[in-house]
Amino acid sequence: MPTLADLAELVRAPAALSVPGDVVAGAAAAGSLGRRTPGLAAASVLLYWAGMAGNDWADRRLDAVERPERPIPTGRVTPEVALGLAVGLTAAGVGLAAAVGGGRAAAVAVPLATAVWGYDLRAKNTSAGPAVMAACRGLDVLLGATGGRLSRAVPAAVTVAAHTWTVTALSRREVDGADRALPLRTLAGTALVAASAGRPPATTGSPLAALPALLATWYAARYGAAQARVVVDPSAGRVRAAVGAGITGLPALQGALTARAGAGLLGAAVAAAAPLARRLARRVSPT
């Protein structure tokens, strides 16, 4: 039987710190922060872990060559356990979203789960891969907005999706390294994402009006610096480090979006997950 540490590695457990901020940012933008938000965030985490387990199950033969240290190739987790865990977590995530948020939440959770499985089983190794993964994160933001005005959360969803596109595009070169054109493109995308998230909130008289810009700058500095190092040295190790920075730095971006929606203190709390995620990533790889 696999240990809890093996399962945590399989689902990239610490990387889930980058997930609740999607729901919080969506809820803040839609004006629906409330008792349902933690439950929807938990559902989102379950679906994220399902995607990670499903990813390793789908890639088990490729990982035996390229990532032999992962739980399935080493024999610490069997393919059957990984698949069962992925299916169970998917059902639990969709079920929790429906129980907490009703039909509106289920109407987003089901397409989100479908996109997660579609990425793992079909899209990942195609040119559509980054777009499908970006759609997963965009839907995740909208899941948090289902209790309010969904349309108001679309800009936040697009911003998080754009960030996700850059991370996914880089992740496709984690094994073989990249040419310098790729990190230059993703770096330009990161600059646009940070500029969008860092715009001041509508209520500029607030003492926290500068917080979105500060958090967006923090996000851009951390993730952007990692991509800049790939431009200088596009080796596989540098690419993996940039992907890790994109994953663990996402809470800072989510915090900026939350603060921009008027929830400044909550945005700061969301962003505080970034250094914690970075610390935990030293123990369990987020990629």
Domain CATH number, residue 274? 1.10.357.140
Does a structural domain hold residue 218?
A: yes
Give 228-284 pLDDT, tens digit per residue. Answer: 999 999 999 999 999 999 999 999 999 999 999 999 999 999 999 999 998 988 888
CB 25 within 8 A of CB 141: yes
Q: Residue 209 — very low, low, confident or very high, per pLDDT cuts 50/70/90?
A: confident
Please tell me the predicted confidence (pLDDT) of residue 188: 97
Does a structural domain hold residue 207?
A: yes
- 3-state secondary structure at position 285: coil
Does a structural domain hold residue 285?
A: no
Give 53-98 pLDDT, tens digit per residue. Answer: 999 999 999 999 999 999 999 999 999 999 999 999 999 999 999 9
* Whether the predicted model's global pTM rises above the 0.85 cut: yes
Does a structural domain hold residue 54?
A: yes
Please tell me the predicted confidence (pLDDT) of residue 200: 82
Does a structural domain hold residue 286?
A: no
Q: Mean pLDDT, to the nearest integer, of 145-173?
A: 97
Any idea what the Cα angle at residue 88 is, between residues 27 and 4, rounded to 5°? 95
Helices (H) and strands (E) in the chain, counts: 14, 0
| Spatial distance between the Cα atoms of 270 and 80, rounded to a whole number of angstroms | 35
CB 120 within 8 A of CB 130: no
Does a structural domain hold residue 287?
A: no
Please tell me the predicted confidence (pLDDT) of residue 268: 96
Please tell me the predicted confidence (pLDDT) of residue 177: 93
DSSP state of 120: I
Please tell me the predicted confidence (pLDDT) of residue 286: 85
Does a structural domain hold residue 131?
A: yes
Give 3-58 pLDDT, tens digit per residue. Answer: 999 999 999 998 899 999 999 999 999 999 999 999 999 999 999 999 999 999 99
Q: Which domain holds residue 240?
A: 4-280
Does a structural domain hold residue 239?
A: yes
Average pLDDT, rounded, for the chain: 95
Number of domains in the chain: 1
